[in-house]
Amino acid sequence: MKEEIIIAGFGGQGVLSMGKILAYSGIMQGQEVTWMPSYGPEMRGGTANVTVILSDKKISSPILSKFDTAIILNQQSMDKFENSVKPGGLLIYDPNGITRHPHRKDIKVYTIDAVNISVELGESKAYNMVVMGAFLKLKPVVEYENVLKGLKKSIPERHHSLIPMNEKAIKAGMEKLVQI
């Protein structure tokens, strides 16, 4: 098993932390992982992206030009990464604020309305976990129990009271994604 993922959106959407939770979940499953962020001014409101690789074998390059899955959360990232999905690969995006929808026919495309789903849950901060739920539904590369362990490892202990809310968000994401 090897899954090469790019997660891209605005700084503040939880792109990097979602990648971190995925990577930690992989470790809990005994996988090799790398998490390579874009760093610098992105963190302060520009576009942010992170490459996460989960693999059963040692990972060579942490820098990739093609991905199995692209998780896209804003228009700039759509423009930048739609063509970086491998043929037959997966693209998941949040349609909010997207003006040019993906055009490729050789990949699987799904939407997840994570903005509205997280607001309905009453916890807009769990936005990224809704998106992660959608991804895990389509690519169950990590078992659910290991995702929960990864979540616990990634969140500082003082915020552990928020874990049930995050779980709810992951489940909502799993249920509410839409195939295009």
Partner 1 sequence: MAEKILMKGNEAIAHAAIRCGCDGYFGYPITPQSEVMETLMNEQPWNSTGMVVLQAESETSSINMLYGGASCGKKVMTSSSSPGISLMCEGLSYLAGAELPCLVANVVRGGPGLGTIQPGQGDYFQSVKGGGHGDYKMIVLAPASAQDMYDFVDLAFELAFKYRNPALILSDGVIGQMMEKVELRPMKPRLTEKEIIERYPWATTGKTPDRKQNVLTSLALDAAVHERLNQTLQNKYRQMEENEVRYETLMCEDADYVIVAYGCMSRICESTVELARKDGIKLGLLRPVTLYPFPTKYIQELTSHTKFMMSVELSAGQMVEDVRLAVNGKIPVGFYGRLGGIVPSPEEVLEAFKEQIKKLN
In the complex, which residues of this chain contact partner 1 (CB under 8 A)? Answer: 20, 23-24, 27, 32-37, 39-40, 60-65, 153-154
Q: Are strands 67-72 and 2-10 parallel, antiparallel or unpaired?
A: parallel
DSSP for residue 113: -
Cβ at position 90, least distance to partner 1 in Å: 20
Tracing tokens 């129990």 back to the chain, one arrives at 145
Cβ at position 27, least distance to partner 1 in Å: 5
Cβ at position 149, least distance to partner 1 in Å: 12
Q: Which amino acid is at 178?
A: V
| Residue number with CB closer to partner 1 (80 or 108) | 80
Distances (CA, A) of 49 to 24, 73, 118, 156: 17, 10, 21, 22
Q: Which two tokens stand for residue 140?
A: 């169950």
| Residue number with CB closer to partner 1 (27 or 115) | 27
| Residue number with CB closer to partner 1 (59 or 98) | 59
